[in-house]
Amino acid sequence: MKKAEEILTNHLQALGSGDIDQLMQDYSEESVFITPNGLFKGLMAIQEEFSNLLRAFPPGSTLNILNKLIKDKYMLLMWSGESESLNIPFASDTFIISDDKIIFQSFAGQLIAK
């Protein structure tokens, strides 16, 4: 059984490289992802949302981890970042892990267009 830390590491590596297939390995058909854009349930919907997010925050963007809290199956990631089109002074992701998958994730952040 994977630890939450391993899943988070894979998640961040996949985002950093823009590897949507690797990223989606962390989710299941039952997973839910909530962002300011809406609620996305299932692999197809989550993949589409990540594809949109990666267009605004592609590989080569800067991601700075401000804080990371992990307790059992719960994770909180606070971060800042910058891409060619966005400045993100603060963002937060919360995760719930079950059976080696992210079953719930929420994202919120201050996104400032350049």
Beta bridge mates, 75:
70, 95
Q: Would you mind telling me the total number of residues written for the chain in this entry?
A: 114
Give the predicted TM-score (pTM) of the model.
Answer: 0.93
pLDDT at 56: 93
Q: What are the pLDDT digits (tens) for 5-23?
A: 999 999 999 999 999 999 9
Q: Is the pLDDT of residue 107 over 90?
A: yes
| pLDDT bracket for residue 1 (50, 70, 90) | low
Number of domains making up the chain: 1
Q: List Cβ neighbours of 9 (8 Å cut-off, separation of 6 or more).
A: none
Instruction: Pick the closest to residue 91 from 47, 71, 46, 61 (CA basis).
Output: 61
Tell me if 27 sits within 8 A of 102, measured CB to CB: yes
| Mean pLDDT of all residues belonging to the chain | 95
Over residues 78-106, the mean pLDDT reads 97
CATH code, 58: 3.10.450.50
Q: Specify the residue for token string 């909530």.
A: 34
Over residues 45-59, the mean pLDDT reads 95
Domain containing 25 equals 4-113
What whole-number percentage of the chain has pLDDT above 70? 99
Q: Give CA–CA dist 100/1, Å, rounded.
A: 6
